[in-house]
Structure 1
């Protein structure tokens, strides 16, 4: 059974590593988004380079990746009478909530470091949001509602990502007890906190620009100039 669980975690990475923004830019607009603007393959840069429709498609596609990855774990739980991961090294992982949280982690790692793009990917906010939907729809609605409010007021996607994302660990801990497949939800919340810290780290340049007042707002068109390496 452990092999099957590891394969599901690998599915999380593979789902996360699908470069939706890159594919939309390349196939739909003949633009390599890695070489223009911020060089990021996420929603904000795609929207600046290719337009609002492309940006929204990127966001939805990235969210779907996260949701599918988590649902694959739920399917394993439902169909295989899942009882835990067993032992990996000296650590015994004995609950389903932790397993699903680990899938979230492997998914955002896949999005940030996709093997197909030489491990240079996005910042994992959208894919993380989709994974939260698979974890708990109520938490997703709360987090997305805050995300929308902050975005409307500030126009900064990075600030929206960071502030709304901070709700994930406490909401995971709060709502996990209502999920029949969760137990020992504090372990899942710890992994959720690690996921949040990783996303914050991926936004470190955005944080610096926010502090300096030089962060770009959503909707600002980007001039198509090749990004220098």
Structure 2
């Protein structure tokens, strides 16, 4: 893993329609790099079975959520299926300043808000496409997390999500998890070497210039 103290952190955004695999891929990326932080979203919805507050989501009241939005304490937020979701700004800012990467599992609305924010220059956005709509439905039904009505709503929303694929830095068709994981690792590794993420290069080039002038 890279020396995080020598570079700026990245805001790594993964988006996809429900069932395309972004949550599974996010988990694999965190296993690959244990130093990769994860932005735990705040939400006003009730916890599902097995979800832990502060680990899967931060479950808060709607009034508290809206107050944080009004105070500018949410980096991004959205209203989805009758509930509010958002990313608290403070932990993300602290991580970026310390040179640590933060992974976001969010939809296109959140991705757009982050990209257009003050931290936008440090973002890496990746959209995950399913191999087919039929496969997307099969995966949603196979998760056994939602009832038939919810699955239908998620399928109806899937095309709206997919239609925003053009707003991302990279787009990957997830027809094989292992291959998609390998592609994500390549993209992240390369972006960590982006000139913008390496502010120490300026001092290094100045040192090279001084050394060159001494020997010239």
Per the TM superposition, whether the score is higher than 0.5 is: no
Whichever structure has more helix as a proportion of its residues is 1
Whichever structure has more strand as a proportion of its residues is 2
